[in-house]
A = this chain, B = another copy of it.
Amino acid sequence: MRRVVMKFGGSSVATTEKIKKVAEILKRRKNGMNDIVCVVSAMGDTTDELLSLAGELSKNPSRRELDMLLATGEMVSASLLAIALNEMGEKAIALNGVQAGFQTKGRHGFSKVVDVDTFRIEKELLEDKIVIVTGFQGLNSNEDFSTLGRGGSDTSAVAIASKLGVDCEIYTDVDGIYTVDPRFHKEAKKLTKVSYDEAMEMAHLGAKIIDPRSVEMAKKYGIRIYVALNSASVLGTYIGEDSVEESIISNLSVQDNILLVKKTLKDESVAELFLNLAREDVNIDIISKMDTDGKTLVRFTSVIDEKNLIEKVADDFEFVENVSKVSIIGNAMRNQSGVAARVFDLLNSNGINFHGLSTSEISISIIVDTIVKEKVMNLLIREFEL
């Protein structure tokens, strides 16, 4: 029997009707001679509903208690899915994060998977059961429930797949990874495969497809991730060693609600500034520094949500809001020079004023006012045939 790990997100198990459909998919795969471990998220908006209950009691609830509260969401969906499978005559068992052997460390709500002791999962697979595992959760060294943060169920699935050395299929509400978000660009092309690095860069640069931590783990253990819709009829996207052939740029991603922050100061206080920002846990992206007339102009990007935090550090920041970051990503950039030059030329010849531009090994990001975002996207789509 070929083993496979399949993960279904919250929208796939939002109602008992949808849970039945997932059960049917699993039953078909099982009868197609697969040993299945299935990781599930909480039903629909359960996590938000639980958070709102906690919010009625405290503005700043203890993360340790929240994790116990939130861990119930996946226990409900997992046990219901096992019940649905039993009803169809399939042997199935639901395991929560503790039973499935997830050992975690780090802050509650943002925990990391240290290891998965797959003893129990292996045992149940050998008894020919479909093993349903709650995503998003584990037990830390205090023997307390801990959760992995948003997108954590992807990480749970990839962690099990990594330990079992098998592929991981992630079923979601998009049917694969596209060159551009199809809601913006109808002619966007679906990518049959992208490389680990591209997928990680896409996730970091705004594509809401998969948790970047899970791609990192898949890369480390050399297992493939397959992202697709529930229904097996449409082919999705593989994330693995290889990228799409013969295309420099494989994806365009966008992040809105960027906050551009400027400050003029003496050169010797720059280090202190960023130390203070780090102390407040401010999330900083692109930094640029310019020296003129003995003064230093520092400019960095963050996100709107962090404005309050930034204001704690100093009261003379200049803020620019309504800013977006448009990024293009492609493995082939590694071996191909001149992409940045092409982008510069494109923006200049079309009179686009941009706040900044940053490059990584396989991506270029352009900071622009949100008002010109779509124009920039369309220029890039045409230039790189996305």
A144 to B99, Cβ gap below 8 A? yes
Q: How far is the CB of A195 from chain B (nearest CB, A)?
A: 39
A143 at the interface (CB under 8 A from B): yes
B61 to A69, Cβ gap below 8 A? no
Find the B residue at minimum CB distance from A83. B61
Would you call the interface of chain A mostly helix, strand, loop, or mixed?
Answer: helix
Count of identical protomers in the assembly: 2
Q: How far is the CB of A281 from chain B (nearest CB, A)?
A: 21
Q: Mark A66-85, 1 if CB is under 8 A from B, else 0.
A: 10110110011011101110
Q: Given contacts A56-B16, A58-B86, A99-B144, are A94 and B80 in contact (CB under 8 A)?
A: no
Q: Given contacts A58-B87, A87-B58, A143-B120, are A80 and B53 in contact (CB under 8 A)?
A: yes
A143 to B99, Cβ gap below 8 A? yes
Find the B residue at minimum CB distance from A43. B53
B80 to A57, Cβ gap below 8 A? yes
B86 to A53, Cβ gap below 8 A? no
B79 to A69, Cβ gap below 8 A? yes
A19 to B143, Cβ gap below 8 A? no
Q: How many Å lie between the Cα of A61 and that of B16 in the bound state? A: 14
Q: Given contacts A76-B69, A82-B65, are A87 and B57 in contact (CB under 8 A)?
A: yes
Q: How far is the CB of A289 from chain B (nearest CB, A)?
A: 43
A69 to B64, Cβ gap below 8 A? no
B72 to A58, Cβ gap below 8 A? no
Q: Given contacts A62-B86, A144-B99, are A71 and B80 in contact (CB under 8 A)?
A: no
A208 at the interface (CB under 8 A from B): no
Q: How far is the CB of A83 from chain B (nearest CB, A)?
A: 4
Q: How far is the CB of A309 from chain B (nearest CB, A)?
A: 23
Q: Given contacts A98-B98, A99-B144, A120-B143, are A65 and B50 in contact (CB under 8 A)?
A: no
A96 at the interface (CB under 8 A from B): yes
**Chain A 36-74 residues near chain B, CB threshold 8 A:** 50, 53-54, 56-59, 61-62, 64-66, 68-69, 71-72
Partner of A66, one of B65, B83, B98, B99: B83
Chain B contacts for A75, CB-based, 8 A: 68-69, 71-72, 75
A20 at the interface (CB under 8 A from B): yes
Q: Mark A81-105, 1 if CB is under 8 A from B, else 0.
A: 0111011000001101011000000
Q: How far is the CB of A185 from chain B (nearest CB, A)?
A: 40
A96 to B68, Cβ gap below 8 A? yes
Q: Mark A1-30, 1 if CB is under 8 A from B, else 0.
A: 000000000000000100110000000000
Chain B contacts for A82, CB-based, 8 A: 62, 65
Q: How far is the CB of A22 from chain B (nearest CB, A)?
A: 11
Q: How far is the CB of A96 from chain B (nearest CB, A)?
A: 7
B99 to A83, Cβ gap below 8 A? no
Give 7 nearest A-B pairs by CB, closest first.
Answer: A72-B72, A58-B87, A69-B79, A16-B56, A68-B79, A61-B83, A57-B84
Known: A57-B87, A59-B87, A62-B83. 20 other contacts (CB 8 A): A53-B76, A54-B80, A57-B84, A58-B87, A61-B86, A61-B87, A62-B82, A64-B93, A65-B86, A65-B94, A66-B83, A68-B78, A68-B96, A69-B75, A69-B76, A69-B83, A71-B75, A72-B72, A98-B98, A99-B144
Binding site for B on A (CB under 8 A): 16, 19-20, 50, 53-54, 56-59, 61-62, 64-66, 68-69, 71-72, 75-76, 78-80, 82-84, 86-87, 93-94, 96, 98-99, 120, 143-145
The contact sample of 7 A-B pairs, CB cut-off 8 A, is A16-B56, A65-B82, A65-B83, A65-B93, A68-B75, A68-B78, A99-B144
